[in-house]
Amino acid sequence: MELTQQAFIYLAVSFFSFVFCYLTWLRRLVPGAWELCLLTMTTGFWAFTLFCESLVQAVELKLLWAKVSYTFVTTSPVIYLLFMLKFTGRTALKYWPHRLFLFVVPLITIVLTWNNDYHHLVWKSWEPLATPHDLLQFERGIWFWIGILFYSYLMMFLATKHLLVFLYRNKSAFGHSRSVILVIGSLTPWISSVLLVFGLNQSWASMLTPFLVLMTGAVFTLVVFYAGFYNFLPVAREVVVEKLPDGIIALDKLNRVQDINSRARSMLGLSATSSGLVDLKALNAPYHSLGVALLDKDTTVWELRQSNQLIVSYQLDKVPIQVSTGCRVIIIRDMTEQKQAEKAILEAKEKAEASDQLKSAFLANMSHEIRTPMNSILGFVSLMLDEGVDEAEQRTYLTIVKQNSERLLGTLNDILDLSRIEAGQVTVQLSDFNLMDLLNNVVLLHSKQAEDKQLTLIKQCQIPPELMFVHTDKEKVFSIFSNLVSNAIKFTAVGSVELTCSLTSNRLTLSVKDTGVGIASHKQTTIFERFVQGDISHNRPYEGSGLGLAITKSYVDMLGGTISLESEEGKGSVFRVFIPIKQAEQLAQRV
């Protein structure tokens, strides 16, 4: 066997490939080192198979070594892509089953290569040798173009694309010279491939290809792992800086943005994937003031509010890099959730305190509403037991006892009704009934109360007789109407109370209008809440538990309706209730 110049080159490429494989293995803890180590090892074995093919003279042996070399020819582009994905910090194909899927086509190629004599898909034939030490030159088959050339181009294209995009996004952390070196290193495998396809002698192309792949491995081994480059490696930036929940901006002494992560772009109202220059003085509304705050050394908090509602709150931490030059790093921390949580806690605290005060007032009111009629009852019963009380006086006393008993019973009923509502023990009981009959019953129930105060009780029903029968909860509608009328009479000293009902589009409207004292505007928003009264003083002129409107609102909600209030202090009030109903057609036909 004669060691030709070409064989010596193969051997040298193989030797240096294993050297760089060893050097990379020494840095095996660095991301991408294992993949690069495997790539240089594959290149070494590839070059060694070419060395062996050039040494042997028998065609059968050359063909054997050519088949062995195809194992490394087809797998090296896949390994190159895996290295580039790891080097650039991409999370795609991070699991081994996904990586192994890329080796399906190379595996098919290897199987077809070793069985090529049966199908000639990889090569059809080979040309005669000019010298015994030349490599075999094949007439390529269809699978060579699909399974080897096209698939290798695809792997190299994806690898190069990831690297170029990565370098562009992190150009500030790389430096121009290192970027150029890495780009050249990534493009070297393309050179031999292009020369091979466009007519270069296969022997020379076969020699150049592993040599140029070795150059790629050497560039990344020396520049990345042995030139202190890993201290600036954008993998760290991609994994750490780009994944931070905080925005990071690096400014020079002229307030020019030298580096900015995607989170900061998003916080500035910019596209997180954009890569153009950022001018903090030219941000779009409403972030223009944020740009001003970032450049102002004294501003530490920036907030965006709309309609007095907090939308965004940023904490601005400004750390000087070199005090003398004015360079600095700004950390933008989103404090919105924390601010909203603090606000929610404060509101809950205030609500709890207000609820405690309301409950205290309610308990005081309940004690007053129970004690006052009880004292009256006991007092007049004692008077009736005295001797010398005639029949007329007894009747008067009994009337007063009856009134106070009814007042006490009403208070207890309100408490029980509210308790049952809060416990979920009150359900909707649907039935068919006549609205006019219900309205008449409400008027009849409260007519004596209105007469005692010399008030005019007006009844108006704007519903045609044929539509008077409806299907809903009769007891709750009666209670709603009755509570509103009772309240209106109670708080009206002079004038009238007007009851109206109407029906439009299967919606019942109940209205109670009075000429009473009215309700102050600041109390109208809370008048339907539990434990809330317009006047909670002990010497108030109006009796009652203050639960009537809360119960009414609960009944309206249970029926799927709404209740509204229009009132002006000193000029009366109008309560309107809107309840969805169904017409009782069978009963309507009887009219």
pLDDT at 262: 83
- Are residues 262 and 58 in contact, defined by beta-carbon separation less than 8 angstroms? no
Sort 251 into a burial class: Cβ within 10 Å, 0-12 / 13-18 / 19+.
Answer: buried
SS (H, E, C) 350-396: HHHHHHHHHHHHHHHHHHHHHHHHHHHHHHHHHHHHCCCCCHHHHHH
Q: For residue range 411-442, list pLDDT tens digits in order.
A: 777 778 777 887 778 888 898 999 899 999 99
Sort 304 into a burial class: Cβ within 10 Å, 0-12 / 13-18 / 19+.
Answer: middle
Closest listed residue to residue 233, CA positions, set 252, 241, 332 = 241
- Token reading at 307: 């309609």
pLDDT at 544: 57
Strand order in the sheet with 431-434: 431-434, 469-472, 582-583
| Mean pLDDT of the 284-308 span | 84
Beta-bridge partner residues of 334: 314
Cα distance from N-terminal residue to C-terminal residue, the chain: 122
**List of domains in the chain:** 5-236 (1.20.1070.10), 244-334 (3.30.450.20), 342-422 (1.10.287.130), 431-588 (3.30.565.10)
Helices 59-87 and 202-219, packing angle to 10 deg: 30
Residue 446 burial (CB count, 10 A): 20
SS (H, E, C) 84-128: HHHHCCCCCCCCHHHHHHCCHHHHHHHHHHHCHHHHCCCEEEECC
- Token reading at 560: 């799927």
Closest listed residue to residue 482, CA positions, set 510, 454, 453, 502 = 510
- Token reading at 589: 């036909």
**Token match 């088959």: residue?**
141
Beta strands 456-461; 496-504: pairing state = parallel
- What distance in Å separates the CA atoms of residue 254 and residue 267, rounded to the nearest whole number? 22
pLDDT at 587 over 50: no
- What distance in Å separates the CA atoms of residue 385 and residue 126, rounded to the nearest whole number? 135
Do you find a cis peptide bond into 106, omega within 30 degrees of 0? Answer: no
Closest listed residue to residue 218, CA positions, set 176, 269, 182 = 182
Q: For residue range 3-22, list pLDDT tens digits in order.
A: 777 788 888 888 888 888 88
Percent of the chain with pLDDT over 70: 80
pLDDT at 336: 86
pLDDT at 415: 76
The pTM (predicted TM-score) of the whole model is: 0.43
| Mean pLDDT of the 442-464 span | 89
Beta-bridge partner residues of 509: 502, 578
**Residue type present at position 580:** P
- What distance in Å separates the CA atoms of residue 278 and residue 255, rounded to the nearest whole number? 11
388: left (phi over 0), alpha (psi -120 to 50) or beta: left
Percent of the chain with pLDDT over 90: 14
Q: For residue range 31-48, list pLDDT tens digits in order.
A: 677 888 888 898 889 888
